[in-house]
Amino acid sequence: MRSYYIMKKFATAAVDSVYVNSSTTDLEDVSTMAFRKGDEMALWVINQSNNDYNSVDFNISEFGLKMAWT
């Protein structure tokens, strides 16, 4: 049942949104997808392995940000 709620959140973030090009740095088994709706952005990080990561660096360069995240 948990997968239903994950897909529901994903669909809600993607509908009527603009896809934003994003990528991870140095992690081949991690994928990202981002969607922008107004001044909000949803970033999905998918770990395709059994590795645990403490942090993930990603690049978003498709549009100008009002502030930067670190």
Per residue in 42-55, pLDDT (tens digit) is 888 888 999 888 88
Q: Is residue 67 part of a domain?
A: no
Q: What is the reported pLDDT for 50?
A: 93
Q: From CA 28, how far away is CA 5, in angstroms rounded? A: 26
Whether 56 has a pLDDT exceeding 90, the answer reads no
pTM of the model: 0.69
| Domain membership of residue 10 as a residue range | 2-49
Could you read off the pLDDT of 17-40 as tens digits, one per residue?
Answer: 988 888 777 788 888 888 888 888
pLDDT of residue 4 exceeding 70, the answer is yes
* Rounded Cα–Cα distance for residues 40 and 47 (Å): 23
- The count of structural domains within the chain is 1
Residue carrying structure tokens 């090009």: 21
For residue 4, what are the contacts with CB-CB under 8 A and spacing of at least 6? Answer: none
Average pLDDT of 61-66? 59
Residue 24 falls inside a structural domain: yes
Query: Does 56 fall in a domain?
Result: no
Q: Is residue 70 part of a domain?
A: no
